A and B are shown apart, each in its own frame.
Chain A
């Protein structure tokens, strides 16, 4: 790729978010912004609060203090389905698919929020309901083509290897046509080849659909390669926020990861 991409205005701003469970403070006054079209990586050691941050962004958790501003609108309490309806989609650290359903059906569920006909219409599957399903199926087929999972279209996802399940989950998130895509460890447990594939898909999604992506990832090589900006969390605090090169050399980050001042090997 040669042309530089245009990173736009902030679409999501988190302002001094504090979240605690009983006596444990998971997030301690975290502020961060997500800009349109960027790939933002959130990294940090185990228990740093990365997944909690994603959960706050898409409304799973409600912070005790602080606000989230999404597309210029501040909110304190939002339900996950409202976040989904407003264009925030996500995947999970532990794959959360319907194991007994096929790849196709799983991705189709990503279209549910966009279906206009009610349950009865769909049950009868006639006229407008049928047309609607065809439209959505066509959209899902484009995603299947995009993610190169034609061969597993009709396979129940429970029978798929882990790497492919992750890909199906990405497909389901894409089916929502999200503006912001949250990926929680999209490459965990994958071999090198699967990681390379996943990186390519993430970059392609960002590039072709202009989707803003926020991801949590432990593989530093991947993070440094694909992200435009990196936020480092440690014990609920924000340690660093900046381009990968800057974060890589930050003494605080090095100390948090390695406990001493040695450059991390990537």
Chain B
């Protein structure tokens, strides 16, 4: 086992000039030579973790690349990849890159139309699909995508009666590749050596909170240099363990589970299915983990609801030590002075509560946990850190190959995203927008020069669209620049800030606040079906559907409690006191990516929601006690239906800043 994270450029100790390790296929051959027997991939299948060493992965990739070449895949061709995280799909990425092709991963839950757009826009001839479900979508749009010639499926189950000649089994393709390699043994190596760092490595279509998806073009240099800088920053080695469970089409997943694994040589494990991620996480015990804030929210919600079901003594113990962690956990993690009694108490909590809890969550071996993609609620963030989990924030986007800023050890704060890493320059424009220039900066949006010109300046500076500022060398992100507005009286209105505060309550899954140019703030609320369902069950409240539960009077009272708590918090900060929520309603359906209300990474698409729920927003700004809405919803299979509902509107009490201060003085 080597402790050196990455062979630095120009390291003379390796037989080949290390400067040649500028593409992922070259890195793959490098690992085959340097650490052939160390695990590269694992997948839980038939209840057992199956594993592949670097030598085996190299052989699989070579076989698949050979098969693709035989079937006519040429340099510059694009390979669409659709499915859950499976080793075979990761090998397909490497195989396409080996032949000088460009992988284009597509979100696996995309509906057929979304896939058709990408296939068409990226001129895709070849696609690899995980299973029958994905093949069905491709078959359905084949007629509309004349360029699509070949579909390769990885899981043959249910495929026996498909007679279309453009469908091929992954294993058969590999078999053809092996036969081909037998006849022309040097082919793979030659093809790999033709690759250059400046070649296009991947095109990732960003879900985008506005408009059509855009294809972000990244080169090997973009990704490898950025991944390597971040590896050095965290001192990652080839003995890290990671779980690949986020969509393959998302840049974060690509960097953590492919790019950094290939750069540092560590093993990537794939869960058995999306539903077993929590159990697999626990078995694996990753050392390096990434999750967007919503996952941490979900985990917290699960912990809290499960603890509500626990026995009296366990519940008391849990809440007591959670309070201890809240008081002294952070100072201990940041190595501040803490009294001996508190240290002993925290240690005891570690034995009785935090340790077992971390073990249950699969965080017992964790060294670094990142969260990014969206702002995280400070309470949520501190909850994990106070348990001794090294949760940090980073800042980045598809256009920057992720890493722009990372929080340094000992300088972790809930409201910043850290300072720029090696090679990254950041500046704030006059109107407060964050701009960056970095080795990871994307080349262009594929076939969309207008959009590229809007975002990327000729001198290399890229507009992020986020508004932010530096605070003691650490970047603070306020909100999407275009979302920050002003109330009618001129006071600032940052919707995401308010929404995040609401979403910290386990009962609230999603919230959308409105207030730009309006006299006061209103909110649409989505309840969390699991948490509220559990809450209802314990109170003997019966309900038949989400819609019924959401309309319940007691649930409204529950949400009202959360909102008034947020109002009291907001009142504590003079600048935000006017942003208190005056009126709200609970939506009758969950906001859904299939309906275009969320992005595939579950970010709220504010403008679409505003137009779709326009009648409700009008009702919120009137004195009406009800709002009527008719919406079209899409089922998972693409069918659509109309949903009509009358939703109750409630007023929330607001706190005045001075009164809040009085209460505080009384309490302390």
User: Is B161 positioned at the interface, with any CB of A under 8 Å from its CB?
Assistant: yes
Interface size on B, residues (CB 8 A): 15
- Closest partner residue, chain A, to B275 (CB atom): A151
Q: Are B46 and A138 in touch, CB under 8 angstroms?
A: yes
User: Is A9 positioned at the interface, with any CB of B under 8 Å from its CB?
Assistant: no
Cβ contacts under 8 Å, B160 to chain A: 207-208
- Distance in angstroms from B160 CB to nearest chain A CB is 7
CA distance A2 to B163 in the complex (A): 7
Task: Give the tally of cross-chain contacts (CB within 8 A).
Answer: 36
Q: Are B279 and A2 in touch, CB under 8 angstroms?
A: no
- Distance in angstroms from A175 CB to nearest chain B CB is 14
Interface size on A, residues (CB 8 A): 18
Cβ contacts under 8 Å, A142 to chain B: 46
Q: Are A153 and B273 in touch, CB under 8 angstroms?
A: no
CA distance A187 to B3 in the complex (A): 56
- Distance in angstroms from A6 CB to nearest chain B CB is 13
Q: Are B163 and A204 in touch, CB under 8 angstroms?
A: no
CB neighbors of B among A96-128 (8 A): none
**The residue from B161, B273, B275, B279 contacting A1, defined by CB atoms under 8 A apart:** B161
Cβ contacts under 8 Å, B47 to chain A: 137, 141, 144, 150, 153
Cβ contacts under 8 Å, A150 to chain B: 47, 272-273, 275-276
User: Is A3 positioned at the interface, with any CB of B under 8 Å from its CB?
Assistant: yes
- Closest partner residue, chain B, to A104 (CB atom): B47
Q: Are A141 and B46 in touch, CB under 8 angstroms?
A: yes
Interface flags, A198-228, vs B, CB<8A=1, else 0 = 0000001001100000000000000000000
Interface flags, B142-169, vs A, CB<8A=1, else 0 = 0000000000000001101111000000
CA distance A146 to B276 in the complex (A): 15
Q: Are B279 and A151 in touch, CB under 8 angstroms?
A: yes
Q: Are A145 and B158 in touch, CB under 8 angstroms?
A: no
User: Is A135 positioned at the interface, with any CB of B under 8 Å from its CB?
Assistant: no
- Distance in angstroms from B241 CB to nearest chain A CB is 20
User: Is B45 positioned at the interface, with any CB of A under 8 Å from its CB?
Assistant: yes
CA distance A150 to B48 in the complex (A): 11
Q: Are B163 and A145 in touch, CB under 8 angstroms?
A: no
CB neighbors of A among B574-593 (8 A): none
- Distance in angstroms from B17 CB to nearest chain A CB is 46
Given contacts A150-B273, A150-B275, A151-B276, contact A145 B46 (CB under 8 A): yes
Q: Are B273 and A151 in touch, CB under 8 angstroms?
A: yes
CA distance A148 to B157 in the complex (A): 12
Cβ contacts under 8 Å, A138 to chain B: 46
- Closest partner residue, chain B, to A139 (CB atom): B46
Residue among A138, A150, A153, A154 facing the most chain B CB atoms (10 A cut-off): A150
CB neighbors of A among B8-66 (8 A): 45-48
Cβ contacts under 8 Å, B45 to chain A: 145
Q: Are B46 and A148 in touch, CB under 8 angstroms?
A: no
| Further contacts, 5 of them, CB under 8 A, given A207-B160, A208-B157 | A2-B163, A3-B163, A150-B47, A151-B275, A207-B161
A-B residue pairs in contact (CB < 8 Å), sample of 23: A1-B161, A2-B163, A3-B163, A138-B46, A141-B47, A141-B48, A144-B46, A144-B47, A145-B45, A145-B46, A146-B157, A148-B273, A150-B272, A150-B275, A151-B272, A151-B275, A151-B276, A151-B279, A153-B47, A154-B279, A204-B157, A207-B160, A207-B161
Smallest CB-CB A-B distances: 6 pairs: A151-B275, A141-B46, A1-B161, A141-B47, A150-B272, A151-B276
